[in-house]
Amino acid sequence: MLNQKARPKSTRPAEQATTDFHGAKVSMGGITSGASIKKLREEARGCRACDLWRNATQTVFGEGAAKPTIIFVGEQPGDREDLAGSPFVGPAGKLFDEALVEAGINRSEVYVTNTVKHFKWVPAERGKRRIHKKPRADEIQACRPWLDAELKAIKPKVLVCLGATAAQALFGRSFSVTRQRGVLVDSPLAPKALATVHPSSILRAPDANARRDQMAKFVADLKRVARLARGGAGNRKKA
């Protein structure tokens, strides 16, 4: 049974104007050019640019400081985020919070968002759990105008992709997080741009030692992000 709970009313339903966006028909009528994050969040509530809204509770838009230096971009909201309406508040979000604290980054001073703004899931074979499903390329493309609008509104100094979905959406399909994590990427989207792992990959570590090791590397990447945000070179790997 699909989740029918708290479905938001469409502010701009499917009949809104469509345009061709990298080959995908994307509903653009709901996005006001140059709008503030507050306005964009309201507009995104009724987004029907792809079908993911049908099984999701609500649009999970980005959240954070009014004038952040750093923007973090994840993949898509998970089960908890879908219910809460906020990004990175579930298990991966808790791990992300711990890593931010260790790296000396205050979450209230950054902006956190996702590549795709609706939770994509399939029912568990047994029980009621909703299992995360990776978004398809056309769903990522359909959602892209929201991310572009967020980047335009925020103009971050440092753009950080968390995991391959965000990194490949923003830096190109051939981007490899394994090979290029922590490396500055030339991007028109921000003066400093880089990717690191998705925090959920650390939750999937096979044992406590591997998890400790992966967390230490993640924190090291975030410390570099903090130095870049302060105007430093980050003291590590250059493109």
Residues near ligand URA, by CB under 6 A: 74-78, 81, 87-88, 90, 92-93, 114, 200
| Closer residue to ligand URA, CB minimum distance, 68 or 78 | 78
Rounded Cα–Cα distance for residues 146 and 77 (Å)? 14
Q: Measured on CA atoms in the order 34, 37, 41, 42, is the torsion positive or negative?
A: negative
| Closer residue to ligand URA, CB minimum distance, 30 or 87 | 87
Residue 90 beta carbon to ligand URA: minimum distance, rounded to whole angstroms: 6
| Closer residue to ligand URA, CB minimum distance, 18 or 201 | 201
Residue 2 beta carbon to ligand URA: minimum distance, rounded to whole angstroms: 20
CB 142 within 8 A of CB 175: no
Rounded Cα–Cα distance for residues 198 and 29 (Å)? 32
Residue 45 beta carbon to ligand URA: minimum distance, rounded to whole angstroms: 17
* DSSP symbol at 174: T
Rounded Cα–Cα distance for residues 4 and 92 (Å)? 25
| Closer residue to ligand URA, CB minimum distance, 64 or 87 | 87
Place of tokens 């230096």: 69
Residue 39 beta carbon to ligand URA: minimum distance, rounded to whole angstroms: 21
Residue nearest to ligand URA according to CB distances in the complex: 74
Place of tokens 């979905």: 165
Residue 114 beta carbon to ligand URA: minimum distance, rounded to whole angstroms: 5
